[in-house]
Amino acid sequence: MEQAVIRYAIDYPAHGQHRTSNELRKQGVFISGSGTRSVWLRHNIENFKKRLHALEEKAAQKVLNSMIAK
């Protein structure tokens, strides 16, 4: 469940904790908005800027991996 919260937060950094909770619930992951916030705090992605930075790092890593694969 925690990995699903992290993955969603990085993929959609502009979504708040309640929106994240609601969207994950549609995917069968049941966590409250405050539970989502707790996961974000544990992984240091508690605000938009930090989640956006994590998304940028993920994109850069994909580019790097594709360059290595060639």
The total of other beta-carbon atoms located within 10 Å of residue 51's CB is: 24
List the chain pLDDT tens, one digit each, 70 residues.
999 999 999 999 999 999 999 999 999 999 999 999 999 999 999 999 999 999 999 999 999 998 898 7
**Cα 66–47–26 angle (5° rounding)?**
75
Among candidate residues 34, 44, 31, the one with its CA nearest the CA of residue 2: 31
**CA 30 to CA 8: how far, in whole Å?**
13
Identify the domain containing residue 22 by its residue range.
2-69
pTM confidence score: 0.88
Q: How many separate domains does the chain show?
A: 1
The total of other beta-carbon atoms located within 10 Å of residue 27's CB is: 9
